[in-house]
Structure 1
């Protein structure tokens, strides 16, 4: 009987321990099979990258502090990395999914990502980061909901609608890659997709018959949360819905001051949440439009995405001309002033109960300043390349974080210049040496003739200023030091600058780049390395057990172990039921 009591007590302890484990932040599991399919979004059959047979891929829908486990099976014929754009993976860049940080997943392999969406809310998206693959698809929406105990600064919407927009070519990513490698521009896109579909036939000349288009169905008299992401290649798009206002509510993890827009420019890589009230009559459907910006609109007319907003009691199809885009031919500051009008809601709670603005970024002393200047593509060593501050980034054979872990010498240089180089541009693996817990000011200076969008992994930065011309020390007098939006992606207009402030509190190696896919592919990026110098580093998670090896460490890579794909949560559940069966079997003996 003593044995029975002992094992019963042991069983209770096991249950309590596992119960405590389950009571912590929950795990959310996804399985992604990444493969090619044939689709015809613009009416021409082409190779598209799908996830679980879907294009775009499935939405990842989680809640603040969830542990996200995504098992990725690579069925492409080339290496793959999945990147979670805007997701601030706290204390680990091992799961970031970019080549300077992680070894790629080989073809026919599977690899499991695991990270926590710690203290974060908002609208984001994911995509494949290698080999120009995003131009063929593989992207999807990533939503992080607030915890129920944290109020949102608006009434709970009736529904949640996700929309992915982006420019599109009928050639696949391998053909587009060859064009860039040959030193040529991609040229004008063939169209704009909305949720992976081509335009509604609003014009018989511009839009051929038989193209499948997106229809968004809504109930009259309701308010919806509309999450819109530009996952395209390099085209800024103006988003608008005929006869409806877009009440801006959130931008990449920060609640905004709520303002109505008849249309909003959404640049490559950016995500927004709008509150859409279906308050119009239902005499007909309404156009949803995403059209190219900062181009010759007469020539680019066909580069327009058109979907349909359909009220359930609608009496007819949408007809007539599309709603007009912004008329800023004679006011080049329209879009910039619109961007400046997007402000942080400093009284709203973000992922925590305290107000978003309690950080008071404007009163923190800047510890380091970097001016990152781009220029039009140039030829370096016989190759067409793009640069930041005179350096065209070369991805290391051994990823930076892995090289640090195993003390691989010569994998990269910590010598990225604080100001643009004045001499001959060069190709290098040159990295910014960030100071842990420092406060970095970065000036993004765009010396090209097109809009660029810049993104930094692992962080939300504060967009404090933008203007035309060359940035100077005196430009700081124009900074917004109170309610500048905190986000992961910001536009820089041609011949202009944008200033951002970054609190370097997240240890790791983090990519900073243009989101314009062609310029990124040709080298317009670098990394910020943030290391905690304390001997007992408790601020970064250890290297994961399933880390891949490549470059100088490729001999350390073991053959693929298919059984490793089981998630942690699945493992815990399996252990729990195994123990339960063992103890039950033992008890049955008494």
Structure 2
């Protein structure tokens, strides 16, 4: 009997290996307010497990991720996973079109698989303008051992979350936008939740904590840099060091050296940086605002310190120069230079069984035009094709599941219509396994960046002016990078191609938090006409109900603090039971 119990114990604990299943990673998060002073002013920020920023989710391709979130904020909460494709599982997407928010004081468990993905991503709160107060953190998805990485193993892995930041509370900022007021110039830029090193006595007050990155001379480190900010494009650079770009948002890139990189809101990049300097002193790591010529924007500069173990003193002198603000094509040409490494062995998009996306027939074309915020029904709103998205109390995904009428329409226009702008819940009716061309036309005066949940898309072209049918002649039809967030410059267009092979309702939005909050988003509905267990996951057991379906919601009687940790539940508990049985044997 004892022998059989030991065998059962072994097989159960190592069932992922013995039975060929994919491993699980468990996380238990408490989301709450804490007080911090990143720019020298005490303010309320959103923490995860009392950390700001939150913990890094470090997993491997095909792992199952289980995150139990306790909402200890004073208002509802949703966490979204920027760039995680949630194959056939938009139930876990964490945006208002797919999930009811987690009420204050409640907990909810996200369960998803990082299927066929690698790379650098991040998570953040998606509603109520909460991202402006934090609640974000990095996500790392590593290659499985059987898949080679197209560069040598780095000596270290460093995540940098860069963001523009206001000392005003996010609720006040939210109210300002609702009343039609501009947020003004940010008060600074943070590195991993910390303010700038005091590189300038007049711009940076004394006593501010700053980020220090400790390295060893001669070694090479992977820097994963994410712009998790509100609305500001940031230029990232490291004094006297080259940035070898190797990956962006899940795609290995053709390896190229850059002295600096423009990183727009919502974008993520991986660089290899070799510590090849003599290190007579520390070095500046800088993230500064782009596309603003006013001297008032000088304070919107984040500075961290790169510290060699053999450094002889602190960093000093001027910061490394940013790009020339008057060179309007610099940033666009830099973006065009980023190419997909088509020979790298890695998880990556595979539209209709072919990597040759340029040869696939396009089935749908959408030209999405945005304009500066405008008054609609007396409220300042932003639009795509003249429609400002209204988030209904019943998420469209839930309404679709339960056939609730009147919640949304599948009538989003493929071009700007000759009619007044309006507020509506209008979705794009995507064709399952179709191949969609989307052109973002930016008629605003600021850079916008757009993100599509559930997918990586191919960035095939961008240019200034108005997109026309002839613009397709400039497309990169071979090695345009596959990513989930792309920039669109003011007075310019960006074209993407995306294979709609992931059933669900997926958010398509501006990553500029101000534009997003005021309505610049929609959803793409992708319905598989032959739904089965292989093409779409069923309603989760713990689904939350709201809006027209709120009467279906059961009271949550077990609180987060009373329940066992997800990490300690399941297999470890049963292992403990088996061990107890063994101890009672004669």
Same topology, TM > 0.5: yes
Indicate yes or no: 2:58 matched with 1:61: yes
Aligned partner (choices 397, 405, 414) of residue 409 of structure 1: 405
Distance 1:164-1:568 versus aligned 2 partners, 3 A rule: closer
In the TM superposition, 1:214-293 aligns within 5 A as 214-293=211-290
Q: State the distance in 2 between where 1:231 and 1:60 align.
A: 16
* Residue 561 (structure 1) shift: 4.0
Aligned partner (choices 548, 561, 565) of residue 544 of structure 2: 548
Indicate yes or no: 2:295 matched with 1:298: yes
**Which deviates further from its counterpart, 76-85 or 557-566?**
557-566
Q: State the distance in 2 between where 1:584 and 1:53 align.
A: 39
Q: Which residue does the alignment assign to 2:357? A: 361
In the TM superposition, 1:452-531 aligns within 5 A as 452-531=448-527
Does the CA-based 8 Å contact 2:27-2:567 persist in structure 1?
no
What are the Cα deviations for residues 71-105 of structure 1, in whole angstroms up to 9, with x where unaligned? Answer: 11111000000011001111100110001110000
What are the Cα deviations for residues 393-431 of structure 1, in whole angstroms up to 9, with x where unaligned? Answer: 001211111111111111111100011122101100100
In the TM superposition, 1:105-254 aligns within 5 A as 105-254=102-251
* Residue 328 (structure 1) shift: 4.2
Q: Which residue does the alignment assign to 1:332? A: 328
Q: State the distance in 2 between where 1:18 and 1:309 align.
A: 42
**Which deviates further from its counterpart, 452-461 or 560-569?**
560-569
Q: State the distance in 1 between where 2:209 and 2:5 align.
A: 61
Does the CA-based 8 Å contact 1:244-1:276 persist in structure 2?
yes
Distance 1:297-1:241 versus aligned 2 partners, 3 A rule: farther
Aligned length: 580
Q: Which residue does the alignment assign to 2:41? A: 44
SS at match of 1:417: coil
Q: State the distance in 2 between where 1:568 and 1:200 align.
A: 38
**Which deviates further from its counterpart, 12-21 or 149-158?**
12-21
Distance 1:54-1:476 versus aligned 2 partners, 3 A rule: same
CA RMSD of aligned residues (A): 2.1
Distance 1:415-1:354 versus aligned 2 partners, 3 A rule: closer
SS at match of 2:171: helix
Q: State the distance in 1 between where 2:225 and 2:365 align.
A: 33
**Which deviates further from its counterpart, 247-256 or 346-355?**
346-355
Distance 1:13-1:166 versus aligned 2 partners, 3 A rule: closer
* Residue 166 (structure 1) shift: 0.8
* Residue 374 (structure 1) shift: 0.3
* Residue 18 (structure 1) shift: 7.2
SS at match of 1:68: strand
Distance 1:411-1:8 versus aligned 2 partners, 3 A rule: farther
* Residue 110 (structure 1) shift: 0.8
Q: Which residue does the alignment assign to 2:385? A: 389
Q: Which residue does the alignment assign to 1:448? A: 444
SS at match of 1:404: helix
Does the CA-based 8 Å contact 2:12-2:571 persist in structure 1?
no
* Residue 574 (structure 1) shift: 2.7
Q: State the distance in 2 between where 1:536 and 1:276 align.
A: 46
* Residue 112 (structure 1) shift: 0.8
Distance 1:15-1:245 versus aligned 2 partners, 3 A rule: closer
* Residue 20 (structure 1) shift: 4.2
Q: State the distance in 2 between where 1:353 and 1:524 align.
A: 26
Indicate yes or no: 2:577 matched with 1:574: no
SS at match of 2:299: coil
What are the Cα deviations for residues 373-397 of structure 1, in whole angstroms up to 9, with x where unaligned? Answer: 1000011111110000000000121
In the TM superposition, 1:5-84 aligns within 5 A as 20-21=15-16, 23=18, 24-84=21-81
**Which deviates further from its counterpart, 538-547 or 121-130?**
538-547
SS at match of 1:314: coil
Q: State the distance in 2 between where 1:379 and 1:38 align.
A: 36
Q: State the distance in 2 between where 1:193 and 1:151 align.
A: 34
Distance 1:333-1:566 versus aligned 2 partners, 3 A rule: same
SS at match of 2:400: helix
What are the Cα deviations for residues 223-261 of structure 1, in whole angstroms up to 9, with x where unaligned? Answer: 000000000000000000111100001000000011000
Q: Which residue does the alignment assign to 1:378? A: 374
What TM-score, normalized by structure 1, do the two folds share? 0.95
**Which deviates further from its counterpart, 77-86 or 562-571?**
562-571
Does the CA-based 8 Å contact 2:28-2:565 persist in structure 1?
no
Q: Which residue does the alignment assign to 1:437? A: 433
* Residue 359 (structure 1) shift: 1.5
Q: State the distance in 2 between where 1:302 and 1:566 align.
A: 43
* Residue 136 (structure 1) shift: 0.5
What are the Cα deviations for residues 170-218 of structure 1, in whole angstroms up to 9, with x where unaligned? Answer: 0011010010011011111011111111111111111111111111110
Q: What are structure 2's unaligned runs of at least 5 residues?
A: none
Q: State the distance in 1 between where 2:142 and 2:124 align.
A: 20
Q: State the distance in 2 between where 1:419 and 1:230 align.
A: 30
Distance 1:538-1:353 versus aligned 2 partners, 3 A rule: closer
What TM-score, normalized by structure 2, do the two folds share? 0.95
What are the Cα deviations for residues 483-506 of structure 1, in whole angstroms up to 9, with x where unaligned? Answer: 000000000000000000010111
What are the Cα deviations for residues 502-534 of structure 1, in whole angstroms up to 9, with x where unaligned? Answer: 101111110000000000000000000111101
Q: State the distance in 1 between where 2:574 and 2:313 align.
A: 58
SS at match of 1:256: strand
Q: Which residue does the alignment assign to 1:101? A: 98
* Residue 570 (structure 1) shift: 2.8
What are the Cα deviations for residues 351-384 of structure 1, in whole angstroms up to 9, with x where unaligned? Answer: 37999x9621111111111111100001111111
What are the Cα deviations for residues 38-87 of structure 1, in whole angstroms up to 9, with x where unaligned? Answer: 11100010111111111111111111111111111111000000011001
Distance 1:262-1:14 versus aligned 2 partners, 3 A rule: closer
